[in-house]
Structures are given as structure tokens and as C-alpha cells.
Amino acid sequence: MSQTFLERPEFQKLGKQKLMILQELAEKAKGKEPIELLELLKAYGEELTGGNAIAPAERMALLSAMEESLEKEEKLQFQRAVQMLKIMGKL
């Protein structure tokens, strides 16, 4: 049985409260369009960090939580959107 993304060691380091936020995010992200996902990402990023700057590990955890909830075609669109944000220096 493969482990879920939340069971990976890098996510376990975030703590139980943040893992619960990521789980909720992953559930709410199911079936959303890429633009809706980015809005969720913004909202949960603020919740995850308490409005402070988001740490790189937390940013990667958020992106993984979002991507985990998507179907194959949606994942590709999301990955493209994330790549574009990285190129633009927004991520």
C-alpha cells in the first residue's frame, strides 16, 4: 500500500495542526478548476502561516496537497500554472 502525501516524512515535520489544514485543503480542492485552486492555495497559505511569510517547506506541502486532489488532466494544468508562477517569481 502506498502512503498518502500527508504520511510522507517531510509532511510529518509540519505538525498535526498543519497536517489537518492540508487534509482539509486537499478535500476542498477536489474537482476545482486551476484558477479556483490558486484561490484556495492563497487562502490556505494564510491559514497555514497565520498571515506570515510562508516557509518553502509549507509552500511545497500546499502545492502537493493541491496536486494530490486532482485528476490526471487537471494535474497537468495545475503543474503548468505552478511552473508559470515560478517563472514569474510569484512562487
58, 47 in Cβ contact below 8 A?
no
Domain tally, the chain: 1
Q: Which domain holds residue 28?
A: 7-87
Give the model's confidence band at 68: pLDDT under 50 very low, under 70 low, under 90 confident, else very high: confident
Q: In this structure, is residue 41 part of a structural domain?
A: yes
Q: In this structure, is residue 47 part of a structural domain?
A: yes
The secondary structure of the chain, three-state, reads CCCCHHHCHHHHCCCHHHHHHHHHHHHHHCCCCHHHHHHHHHHHHHHHHCCCCCCHHHHHHHHHHHHHCCCHHHHHHHHHHHHHHHHCCCC
37-53 pLDDT, tens per residue?
778 877 887 777 776 66
Pairwise CA distance, residues 78 & 47, whole Å: 21
Average pLDDT over residues 78-88: 81
pLDDT of residue 51: 66
1-29 pLDDT, tens per residue?
355 767 777 777 777 888 888 888 888 88
Q: In this structure, is residue 1 part of a structural domain?
A: no
Q: In this structure, is residue 2 part of a structural domain?
A: no
pLDDT of residue 1: 36
pTM score of the predicted model: 0.58
Q: In this structure, is residue 67 part of a structural domain?
A: yes
